[in-house]
Copies of this chain bind each other. A is one copy, B any other.
């Protein structure tokens, strides 16, 4: 990949390779890779089918929409993706967002996919991937932790077999607890058994070492069986639960709540609907866009965030680099084309990406197998999905999202950086109210903390002999007044003879308002018979200050030089570059 340092012409082969990463690995594709890709693709396929059915439930859509959303990403990412491990498809968090913004209505969901795809494509072409930098880790952790709780709790009603529980978290908790007596025994027993089985298989998987080649055949075969059943545990559990439900159905009694009828076959390829016909008349496009509101920013951005976070994690583990803007293009195109096959918005899935990586995928071509498996399921298996108990799917989701809850982050932040607990807690708590409020509030709060850091930079002050003030960072307009106040306050507390020294070694830039503040400070000190001496100015800052033509502006390379020459000496030429004067002296005087 060519770095940002070396520009490539837009039609050169490296430039095309950059936009179509498939060209990088296809020429080198080998049979060995194919073998591993097929195994990984099939394994991911066995995971995605039950997850897709379950996440559609989280998104509040008919279950087939989960499958409709699961194949386009596999094909598009194979051509455009930069990370070999990432698989795009429905995820828990995106499903939660879709349930907020699409009002449990497929027409809204598909339009949201189309528009999110357009937004992501536009962001990718405008190279806006840097916007991700403004979502800090505490905000992400707060959001994912809260989401894991709300999504898990959202499934408790399916485990208990309760119907008609409201979507809003607090109402849901209240209603679920109030109606806990109405629990259906069949659903509860099945759900808890599935949870137990999934947890057990998951623990087995993580306890499993790699099979060494030197072991006897039977050991290797049994290892293989255990590994496969642990890796495809979602499919296995859902299959067993389905068979059980089918047996009961054949026997004429049904203790489980079932998924129910699913339209058979592939989704039609058609342009998404841009208006919605209801019995009250037509809802026009503009009204639908207005209804989705902030979702049109939150969904594309969170989609990007999830994909890039996952891609980066695996890129770092497997030693390759990804390009956020290219990921945006891949995801944008996936959503755009996905909306033609009734997909809801998709993004990178952490769980399935991990399965992909662990199975040893070599290129994004593994996605082709996954996609084909989903299409086959849609074409031939939908009638079998009728018998899948909802409690089993609920167990799949709960096991998938529980690891996202990170209790340790609260303790870690308390130890490392307490101030970061503020955006974390704001995001975490508000996400229970509404996901979007939590994220937006978290981003705003962390932005305000940044601005606060600029407005009140740390000031080291030494009052021994001369008053020496050393700002800890650059001086921008919100700090202009603060600097003046700090100097004046210390002068009031301990009047100094001679001059005041401003040690600017950490100031890498100043803006015009800060320069004006300095000019006012100079003026004020002059009236008190004091001189203001600046020392340790960096080249850029010095240039700005000289351009401002401040009256009686004195500067030295270090304040020791200032002391030796006396405040009356004025240094007309830039003082920087005079070596031989120790910059350490100032440091030792600091309080």
Contacts and interface: CB of A to CB of B under 8 A. Distances in A.
Contacts of A453: 474, 476, 509
A571 to B, nearest CB: 19
A466 interface: no
Interface residues of A, number: 68
Interface string A517-534: 000100110010000000
B138 A513 contact: yes
A134 B451 contact: yes
A547 B415 contact: yes
Contacts of A588: 579
B136 A511 contact: yes
Contacts of A446: 477
A310 to B, nearest CB: 14
Q: Is the interface of A mostly helix, strand, loop or mixed?
A: helix
Interface string A299-326: 0000000000000000010010100000
Contacts of A512: 136-138, 412-413, 416-417, 420
Contacts of A579: 584, 588
Contacts of A450: 451, 454, 476-478
A565 interface: no
Nearest to A580: B584
Interface string A433-458: 00000000000001100110111011
Given A316-B520, A473-B473, A455 B513 contact: no
A4 interface: yes
A416 B3 contact: no
B472 A5 contact: no
A296 B470 CA distance: 39
A489 B137 contact: no
Contacts of A476: 450, 453
Interface string A402-429: 0000000000110111011000000000
A493 B133 contact: no
A416 B133 contact: no
A24 interface: no
Contacts of A472: 474, 508-509, 538
Interface stretch (A107-115, A331-339, A393-401, A480-488): A480-488
Contacts of A584: 579, 582-583
Interface in A512-563: 512-513, 515-516, 520, 523-524, 527, 538, 540, 544, 547-548
Nearest to A130: B455
B477 A417 contact: no
Contacts of A473: 473-474, 506, 508
A492 interface: yes
Interface string A570-581: 000000000100
A513 B416 contact: no
Contacts of A134: 451, 455, 477-478
Instruction: Identify which of A137, A480, A527 gathers the most chain B CB atoms within 10 Å of its CB.
Output: A137
29 contacts: A3-B489, A133-B455, A133-B477, A133-B478, A133-B479, A133-B480, A134-B478, A136-B477, A136-B478, A136-B511, A137-B516, A316-B523, A316-B524, A413-B512, A415-B548, A416-B548, A417-B510, A417-B511, A417-B512, A420-B511, A420-B512, A450-B454, A450-B478, A453-B474, A453-B476, A472-B538, A473-B473, A579-B584, A583-B587
Interface of A: 3-5, 130, 132-134, 136-138, 316, 319, 321, 412-413, 415-417, 419-420, 446-447, 450-451, 453-455, 457-458, 472-474, 476-482, 488-489, 492-493, 505-506, 508-513, 515-516, 520, 523-524, 527, 538, 540, 544, 547-548, 579, 582-584, 587-588
